[in-house]
Amino acid sequence: MTERKRNPLYAVSRTLSQVALGQAKADVVIKNGVVVNVYTGELLEGMDVAIAEGRIAYIGQADHTIGDQTRVVDANGRYIAPGFLDGHMHVESTMLAVTEFSKAALAKGTTGIFMDPHEIANVFGSKGVRLMHEEGQQLPLKVFTTFPSCVPATSDLEDAGASLEVEDIREGLTWPNVAGLGEVMNFPGVIYGDPKMSGEIAETIKAGKTVTGHFPSEDERELQAYLASGVSSDHETVTREQGLQKLRLGMHLMIREGSAWHDVKEVIKVITEDKVATDNISLVTDDVYPQTLVEKGHLNHVVRRAIEEGVDPVTAIKLVTLNVARYFGMERDLGSVAPGKYADLVLLDDLKAMTVSVVLTDGEVVYENGRLADVFPKFTYPEEIRQSVHLKRPLSPEDFRLLSQRQGETRVNVIKVIENSARTEKMEAVLSVAGGIIQPDPAQDIVRLACIERHRGTGQISLGFCHGFQLKSGAVASTVAHDSHNLLVMGTDEADMALAANELAKLGGGMIVVNQGQVIAQVPMVIAGLMSDKPLEEVVAEVNRLAEAWKEIGCPLNAPFMTFSLIALPVIPELRITNRGIADVTKFELIQTEIG
């Protein structure tokens, strides 16, 4: 691994002081800008920013810092803001490798991320986490890792490709730029004293690092027990009332705006209507797919959404800069335009539109005039990471037929999905039985669903039914199936389901749509079955075709493949499917598909 060289403050503090006094000259000076001051909430006009050794040395009229070798960048009245920081996100959800994601993010003003690579951890454990972490350390984007906490997400409801124990977390916390513990999804385990959860939290606190959370429950006693355990944030808040409750208890509120989950409109009301102090609030993306990066942006889009909902632009920027740095204990280095900080800066043409024109990291221009600098080294994943789909045998249409002893009809549990929501609902339906096989019913919007173990080739298959996608024909399949990432298949026709599963296995994983015996769209993701090794533009084209293919088989939902990928996640209410069966998340137990 080639780690990008960055100067710690103690090593360059004397040089920075000399530049500030004019005794030494700056490497770069940004002239004539409007500084976005996230400490005071002010916009300071006619300002220069002098940079030396990758850090900010001086802010104000900086002519005295300019020498013959100083590069001068004319801001020409543009806004100079701190680089944006994403306090919670999963790179795997972008379908891109870390390097390719970093190109897209930097072009939108994001200069640092706190990634939770628990998707690859569920496939390859610490080895997968280490690879993604190492890929991030060579980039101009600052990549911090929160070490995955719940692998698998639950121990009793599913089987992942790997597991992480307390010892793994203890070791991972020693890696440079591991900032804390990834979202602690197993909140029942936390509040009821599961030794693994308690042990991971204790190790993180002992290491002086941050314990990030995931708390979808509305039970106040459980919330306070969760907070008392040492978990300090949450990004699963979907209502203003929940947000206010968490802020009053000292929890760091992460307001999410991803590709499929749009929480800003409602939760931001804690600022616009309740007028709470904003120091303990940040904006995050969580899950973003590649079209969003291209068409809307990354954190600049989330900031824009907050501004559209009535948040002052400087405050909105503070929510993705200073507040994130403070939450992770990194304010000395990150999060503001101030002397001593890393020179991670964004020049904005327009505050409300969040139009990014220039981006610097460590004092170097990495994006300007619509072009990225050539500063992105190549990273290659080993072959075993690229060969991660292991089926016991090719699948047949018969594998997707759920048998019943009943005659005529039967009652079944059905997973009901909700558009633009990570949550599902439990519903019941009456389906016909023909030849001993429970039949799907597209007229009721009920189709077949299957989850197949794909890590060890056990041949284990669970079957169920799903409502809400409005499929009229065909089948879809995905190895992106949070969080254990087994092979998820859904369709109206069992022959198309078998074809989708088998073809996806041949590709090495990813997402696919099949209709009437033909593959009509596919997105190969050879890195752990989760990420493509292709450039952003190619992945966007493939995903656009995938979205069209979903529409062709009847689905009108926004980002249906994101919603589909989450129906295997047994830590968010109410009903899910795993390789072991149908999971009732309200009770944390497996239930039968057929009720009778």
pLDDT tens for each residue of 452-499: 999 999 999 999 999 999 999 999 999 999 889 999 999 999 999 999
Q: What is the model's pLDDT at position 230? A: 97
Report the pLDDT value the prediction gives residue 154, as an integer from 0 to 100. 76
Going through 40-139 in order, the beta strands assigned E by DSSP cover: 42-52, 55-60, 71-74, 79-82, 84-89, 110-115
170 DSSP 8-state letter: H
Q: For residue 23, how many other CB atoms are within 10 A of its CB? A: 11
| Helix, strand or coil, per DSSP, at residue 132 | helix
Q: Which helix (H) or strand (E) holds 513?
A: strand 510-515
User: Rounded to 5 degrees, what angle do the CA atoms 339, 343, 347 make?
Assistant: 110
Task: In whole angstroms, give the CA distance from residue 557 to residue 420.
Answer: 8
Whether residue 431 contacts residue 441, with contact meaning beta carbons closer than 8 Å, is answered with yes
Secondary structure (3-state) at 12: helix
State how far the Cα of 78 lies from the Cα of 71, in Å rounded to an integer: 18
Architecture per CATH, 85-333+374-382: Alpha-Beta Barrel (3.20)
Closest CA to 303 of 288, 321, 287: 321
Token code pair at residue 290:
């590649």
Q: What is the pLDDT of residues 152-187, one digit of tens each?
A: 877 788 999 999 999 999 999 999 999 999 999 888
Question: Percentages helix, strand, coil for the chain, rounded to the nearest 5?
Answer: 30, 30, 40
- The separation between CA 580 and the C-alpha centre of its own chain, rounded to angstroms, equals 26
For position 388, what pLDDT does the model report? 96
Give SS3 for 431: strand
Closest CA to 141 of 113, 121, 177, 116: 113
The dihedrals phi and psi of 575, each to the nearest 5 degrees, come to -120, 140
Cβ atoms within 10 Å of 374's Cβ, excluding its own: 6
Cα 557 from Cα 559, distance rounded (Å): 6
Between CA 61 and CA 138 the distance in angstroms is 34
Percent of the chain with pLDDT over 90: 91
Tokens of 388: 């991660």
Residues of the chain scoring pLDDT < 50: none
What SS3 class is residue 189? Answer: helix
Residues with Cβ within 8 Å of 2's Cβ and at least 6 positions away in sequence, in order, are 138, 377
Give the three-state DSSP class for 402.
coil
Domain layout of the chain by residue ranges: 85-333+374-382, 385-591
Q: Report yes or no: 523 and 539 within 8 Å, Cβ to Cβ.
A: yes
Residue 571: its pLDDT value, please?
80
pLDDT of residue 41: 97
Q: Which of 299, 306, 269, 271 is nearest to 285 (CA)?
A: 299
Residue 11: CB atoms within 10 Å? 10
* 34-49: b (≥16 Cβ within 10 Å) or e: bbbbbeeeeeeeebbb
